Amino acid sequence: MDFVERRLRDHAVTPGGILDLGCGTGLHAIEFARRGWNVAGIDLSEEMVAKAKSSAARSGLPVPFRQGDACEIGPERNFDAVVSLFHVASYQRDPASLEALFRTAHAALKPGGVFLFDYWYGGAVLAQGVETRVKVIERKPLRLTRIAQSDHDEANATVFVNYTLFCEDTDRSTIRRVDETHRMRYWFPFEVESSLKACGFQPDGNYAWYSDGAPNSKTWAAYSIARKRLAP
């Protein structure tokens, strides 16, 4: 959040109206609200939106969350900024879907407003390849083990990430298993910029995550900043 807010300020966006596209359970949106932003959030998952509303209510913050498709233009208008984080852009599997996401952001922004989103950078995916990864998070009495096994469809610039999660309660000696598959599309800056321009944006750059340098082969995470053109 510190990093995203700093990059918005670098582009002359101070706390005002901000829309979180693909807000999930509202973690970022609620934190923006705590920092003085006027926030709204949209997510496709009805379950996640319900959790976001519950979290906002517990926090005492008036954040309106709406269940809806980030690739379909809604009633949201005149925001100073739109963010779409945790690779929502890479859940769009083809240029048409990516541009639909961009058009939603464009419609929600006031002229000159800023759009910041992250995505999987294709150069790093191709340089590093895919592998099996295991991550363990423990907060007693709970332990989460996540196994990520990936299949690379290079012809379609897509990675299928197959997650197996083991959720353990060591006090109760119980284990719950969850299986998910995420189909992720990686993008290259020239593709991102071409689609942004087609949707009425002026690209302000592509960067490696947590930096102001260009995307590189060491990190899959990249982000882009674009500004809604003042005139068509």
Identify whether residues 157 and 210 lie together within a single domain.
no
pLDDT tens digits for 162-208? 999 999 999 999 999 999 999 999 999 999 999 999 999 999 999 99
CA distance 88 to 91: 5
Strand partners, 228: 201
Give the pLDDT confidence score for residue 230 in this predicted structure.
Answer: 87
Give the pLDDT confidence score for residue 232 in this predicted structure.
Answer: 63
Cis peptide bond upstream of 141, omega within 30: yes
Percentage above 70 pLDDT, the chain: 100
> Which residue numbers in the chain have pLDDT < 50?
none
Give the pLDDT confidence score for residue 231 in this predicted structure.
Answer: 72
CA angle 41/44/50 to nearest 5° reads 65
Percentage above 90 pLDDT, the chain: 98
Q: Report the CATH number at residue 85.
A: 3.40.50.150
Identify whether residues 175 and 193 lie together within a single domain.
no
Identify whether residues 12 and 23 lie together within a single domain.
yes
**Structural domain harbouring 166:** 124-184
pLDDT tens digits for 204-220? 999 999 999 999 999 99
CA distance 70 to 96: 13
Identify whether residues 87 and 34 lie together within a single domain.
yes
Strand partners, 183: 160
pTM (2 d.p.):
0.93
The pair of three-digit structure tokens given for residue 37, joined into one six-digit string: 């932003």
If phi > 0 it is left, if psi is from -120 to 50 it is alpha, else beta; for residue 112 that is: left
Q: Report the CATH number at residue 180.
A: 2.20.130.10
Identify whether residues 53 and 164 lie together within a single domain.
no
